Structures are given as structure tokens and as C-alpha cells.
Amino acid sequence: MIRFEGRAVHISASPGAGKTTLCLGVVSDTVMNGGRVIWACRKMPDPNRFREILHDIDEQGLMRISILNFSTDFAGNLDFILTRAEDFGRDDFVIVDDWCESNGRARKDDIDAAKKLSSLARKTNLIITSSSYEDASGFSESGWLTRGGTKIESSYATFLLLKHPKKDGVRIISGEDILILARMTSKGLEELVN
């Protein structure tokens, strides 16, 4: 669906659209193909969804997943994430789920940390996620805006993940002149092919 490999990607999603589910699918694919993952998050994913998507991974595979719950201090845990990823390569992923708070403006220290983290994309794969917010100005085509402003946009390829307004269980992924329809499945998000 989205080309993640070799670059910094920002997934900005409307509430409940499935950004965590999308990333858990990436975790599953990565580990099943022998890669390693750092999963850093503000809040741990729903354990049932976590088990559902990752249930095919054996004990050895689970040992290739490092989990860090940074709660409200992403910036304070940045050095730990960077240190853990020092030997990561192109088969591995660093995923930061909810790099900033889901309400209000993103804090400057979180924006600066996300920008610094983007340098990892030179040697490994990187995804950060955040909650998008409704555009009260009406200037956005989708009606949604992403967090972090130009500092994040200059360092990351940003994609919006939205619930389809008319089709239950279908999601719209847009960015970089692409528009993808995907369905929620027990393995994550799966692209719908016409």
C-alpha cells in the first residue's frame, strides 16, 4: 500500500481510523520476514487487537520486538530509541505510535524529537503516527489536518488515514498523490484492489 522502506513516514489518522492497526500489520510482516522492530508508544495498543494481528509470530519472533511505553515523555525517551536502533538496517522498523498528544498543538519538544528521529530513515525504516484534527478553516480538501506543521512535513512523507464516509470498515489512505482504499482485517489493513 504505502511504500515505507527507506524513508521517514508520518501516518496521521482521524480518530479510530486504524493507524495502530496499520502499524501492527507492519510489525507482523517485518518480524515474519526476520526483521526487528522497536515499538514506542504513548499508550499501549488494545491487547486483543495486538494478539489478533501478531498471533502467528512465534517466541523467537516476539523476541525481535522491543516495546517502549513513553507515556507523556516522547522527547525524554528519544535517546533510548536512537540507541536501541543503532544497529538497525533496511529489514527493520522503528515505529512511534502517537508521537504527540491527540489534542491541542504538538509540543515543541515532541516536534523537535520527531524531527531528530527522522534521521534514522537513512539506515532503517521509520513510521510515526498521530491523530489528525478537523480543519475548522475549510481549506483542507479532506477536512483534516496533520500535527507538527512544516517541521514534520519537511522531514516525513505524510499520509492521511481516514474512515470512509459511506463504507463501513473501509479506510482511505491519501498522500504523495496516491489514494488507496483499504479494509480492516484481522491482519491489519488490506488494500482493496478494483
Domain boundaries, the chain: 8-191
Instruction: Give the pLDDT confidence score for residue 187 in this predicted structure.
Output: 83
pLDDT surpasses 70 at 124 = yes
Task: Identify the CA nearest to 76 among candidates 45, 110, 106, 102.
Answer: 110
pLDDT band (50, 70, 90) for residue 55: very high
Q: pTM (2 decimals)? A: 0.92
Instruction: Give the pLDDT confidence score for residue 140 in this predicted structure.
Output: 67
Q: Over the stretch 59-111, which tens digit does the pLDDT of each residue have?
A: 999 999 999 999 999 999 999 999 999 999 999 999 999 999 988 889 999 99
pLDDT surpasses 70 at 172 = yes
> What cell numbers appear for 168 in the block?
463501513
pLDDT surpasses 80 at 170 = yes
pLDDT surpasses 90 at 2 = no
pLDDT surpasses 90 at 23 = yes
Instruction: Give the pLDDT confidence score for residue 142 in this predicted structure.
Output: 67
Q: What is the mean pLDDT of residues 165-176?
A: 92
- In the Cβ-directed half-sphere of 85, how many Cα atoms lie within 13 Å? 30
Please tell me the distance from the alpha carbon of residue 97 to that of residue 94, in angstroms, as a whole number: 10
Instruction: Give the pLDDT confidence score for residue 191 in this predicted structure.
Output: 92
Tell me how far CA of residue 109 lies from CA of 5, 43, 132, 135, 151, in angstroms. 26, 18, 19, 24, 12
Strands 8-13 and 37-41: unpaired
Reported as type and span, the H/E element at residue 74 is none
pLDDT band (50, 70, 90) for residue 157: very high
Q: What is the mean pLDDT of residues 37-47?
A: 94
Instruction: Give the pLDDT confidence score for residue 144 in this predicted structure.
Output: 78
CATH number, domain 8-191, options 1.25.50.20, 3.40.50.720, 3.40.50.300, 3.40.50.150: 3.40.50.300
Q: State the chain's mean pLDDT as an integer.
A: 92
Please tell me the distance from the alpha carbon of residue 174 to that of residue 182, in angstroms, as a whole number: 11
pLDDT surpasses 80 at 26 = yes
